[in-house]
């Protein structure tokens, strides 16, 4: 009889993802980015752009490695159950939207836009 082994999601990877996401969520407000105000040139806006881009890359990673960690598994769940139209391919749409929004914030923060 063939044995199938189920790989456990990596808790260390989950902790790393949550720590980076929390830091990128908190640091922009420390550097002057305020909710409800238009973004201005500066470090806070650049960090906010990186936050959006990181979320997009997490959705992209969830498409390729859905069982890599609990966070990626949850993002796959969002794509397959909560999205309309539902499907794993929705990770590509979320990646594209967050990459576009994050790039715009990044360009504003760098003073290009």
Kindly report which listed range (4-13, 46-55, 60-69, 88-97) carries the lowest average pLDDT score.
Answer: 4-13
Residue 90 belongs to some domain of the structure = yes
Q: What is the pLDDT of residues 2-30, one digit of tens each?
A: 666 677 888 999 999 999 999 999 999 89
Q: What is the pLDDT of residues 82-96, one digit of tens each?
A: 988 888 899 999 999
**DSSP element (H, E) containing 109:** helix 90-110
What 74-78 contacts at long range (C-beta under 8 Å, 24+ apart), as own/partner pairs, is: none
Residue 63 belongs to some domain of the structure = yes
Domain, as residue range, for 58: 13-110
Residue 8 belongs to some domain of the structure = no
- Report pTM: 0.87
CA 60 to mean position of chain CA atoms? 9
Cβ contact 54:25 at 8 Å? no
User: Into how many domains does the chain fold?
Assistant: 1
pLDDT value at residue 4: 66
Cβ contact 54:21 at 8 Å? yes
């Amino acid at each position: 009889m063939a044995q199938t082994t189920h790989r456990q999601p990596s808790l260390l990877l989950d902790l790393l993802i949550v720590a980076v996401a929390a830091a990128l969520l908190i640091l922009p407000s420390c550097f002057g980015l305020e909710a409800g105000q238009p973004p201005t040139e500066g470090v806070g806006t650049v960090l906010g752009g990186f936050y959006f881009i990181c979320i997009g890359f997490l959705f992209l990673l969830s498409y390729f490695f859905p069982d890599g960690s609990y966070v990626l598994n949850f993002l796959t769940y969002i794509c397959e159950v909560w999205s309309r139209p539902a499907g794993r391919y929705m990770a590509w749409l979320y990646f594209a939207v967050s990459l576009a929004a994050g790039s715009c914030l990044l360009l504003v923060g760098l003073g290009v836009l």
